[in-house]
Chains A and B, each alone.
Chain A
Amino acid sequence: MGRYVLRRLLQMIPVFIGTTLLIFLMVHALGDPIAARFGDKAPDPVVAAQIRAEFNLDKPLWLQYVLYFKGIFTGDFGTAFTGEPVIDLMARSWPVTLKLGLTAFVIEAVVGIALGLVSGLRRGRLTDTVAMAFTLIVISIPVFVLGFTLQYLLGVKWAVIRPTVSYGAPLNELILPGLVLASVSLAYVTRLTRTSVAENLRADYVRTAVAKGLPRRRVVTQHLLRNSLIPVVTFLGTDLGALMGGALVTETIFNIQGVGYNLMQGVRRQESATVVGFVTVLVIVYLVANLLVDLLYAVLDPRIRYA
Chain B
Amino acid sequence: MTTTTEKSVNPQAGKAGTPLLEVRDLHVEFRTRDGVAKAVNGVNYSVSAGETLAVLGESGSGKSVTAQAIMGILDSPPGFVTQGQINFQGRDLLKLSEKERRRIRGAKMAMIFQDALSSLNPVLTVGYQLGEMFRVHQGMSRKDAKAKAIELMDRVRIPAARERVNDYPHQFSGGMRQRIMIAMALALEPDLIIADEPTTALDVTVQAQVMDLLAELQREYHMGLILITHDLGVVADVADKIAVMYAGRIVETAPVHELYKQPAHPYTRGLLDSIPRLDQKGQELYAIKGLPPNLLRIPSGCAFNPRCPMAQDVCRTDIPVLHPVTDSRGSACHFWKETLDG
Q: Is B304 an interface residue (CB 8 A)?
A: no
Name the residue in A205, A209, A215 with the highest tally of chain B Cβ atoms < 10 Å from its Cβ: A205
User: Do B123 and A212 have beta carbons less than 8 Å apart?
Assistant: no
CB-based contact A227/B71 at 8 Å:
no
Cβ-based interface call for B197 (8 A) = no
Q: Is the CB of A209 within 8 A of B168?
A: no
Q: Which residue of A lies closest to B136 (CB)?
A: A214
Kindly identify, within residues 104 to 121 of chain B, every residue whose CB is under 8 Å from any CB belonging to chain A.
104-107, 110-111, 113, 115, 118-121
Do B119 and A208 touch (CB < 8 A)?
yes
Q: Are B123 and A226 in contact (CB under 8 A)?
A: yes
Q: Nearest Cβ in chain A — how far from B291, in angstroms?
A: 26
- B106 near A213: Cβ-Cβ < 8 Å: yes
Is residue B103 within 8 Å, beta carbon to beta carbon, of the partner chain? yes
Give the residue of B103, B125, B132, B170 whose beta carbon is less than 8 angstroms from that of A303.
B170
- Judged by a CB distance under 8 angstroms, whether A129 is at the interface is no
For the complex, what is the distance from the CA of A207 to the CA of B120, rounded to whole Å? 10
Contacts of A208 in B (CB 8 A): 113, 119-121, 184
Within 8 A of A (CB), among B4-46: none
* Bound form: Cα–Cα A230–B121 in Å: 14
CA distance A211 to B196 in the complex (A): 13
Chain A interfacial residues counted at CB < 8 A: 23
User: Looking at B106, B121, B132, B170, which has the most chain A CB atoms within 10 Å of its CB?
Assistant: B121
Bound complex: CA of A65 vs CA of B123, how far in Å? Answer: 48
B258 → chain A, closest Cβ, in Å? 33
What is the CB-to-nearest-CB distance from A178 to chain B, in angstroms, rounded to a whole number? 31
Contact B170–A205 (Cβ < 8 Å): no
Contact of B73 with A by CB under 8 A: yes
Q: Taking each of A210, A211, A230, which has the highest tally of chain B beta carbons within 10 Å of its own beta carbon?
A: A211
Interface size class of B (residues with CB under 8 A): 20 to 34
Q: Which residues of A contact B137 (CB under 8 A)?
A: 213
B82-118 with Cβ < 8 A to chain A: 102-107, 110-111, 113, 115, 118
Number of A-B contacts (CB under 8 A): 72
Contacts of B111 in A (CB 8 A): 211
Q: Does A110 contact B (CB under 8 A)?
A: no
Cβ of A204 under 8 Å from chain B:
yes
User: Which A residues, 167 to 212, have Cβ-Cβ distances below 8 Å to chain B?
Assistant: 202-205, 207-212
A223 cross-chain contacts in B, Cβ below 8 A: 121, 124
Q: Are B102 and A205 in contact (CB under 8 A)?
A: no
Task: Say yes or no for B301: interface residue by CB 8 A criterion.
Answer: no
A302 interface residue, CB < 8 Å from B?
yes
A58 near B: Cβ within 8 Å?
no
A208–B194 Cα distance when bound, in Å, is 13
Tell whether A222 is near chain B: CB-to-CB under 8 Å.
Answer: yes
B133 in the interface (beta carbon within 8 A): yes
Are A303 and B122 in contact, CB atoms less than 8 angstroms apart?
A: yes
Asked if residues A214 and B119 are in contact (CB atoms below 8 Å), the reply is: no
CA distance A222 to B124 in the complex (A): 9
**A205 contact from B73, B122, B133, B168, Cβ within 8 A:** B122
With A204-B118, A205-B118 given, name 10 new contacts (CB 8 A): A207-B73, A211-B106, A211-B110, A212-B184, A214-B136, A215-B136, A226-B124, A227-B121, A300-B123, A302-B122
A-B contact pairs, 17 of them (CB 8 A): A202-B75, A204-B115, A204-B118, A207-B73, A207-B119, A208-B119, A208-B184, A211-B71, A211-B105, A211-B113, A212-B105, A213-B106, A213-B136, A214-B106, A223-B121, A227-B121, A303-B168
Q: Which residues does B use to contact A, with CB under 8 Å?
A: 71, 73, 75, 102-107, 110-111, 113, 115, 118-125, 132-133, 136-137, 168, 170, 184
Question: Nearest 9 A-B pairs (CB), nearest first?
Answer: A213-B106, A213-B105, A204-B118, A212-B106, A205-B121, A302-B168, A204-B119, A208-B119, A211-B111
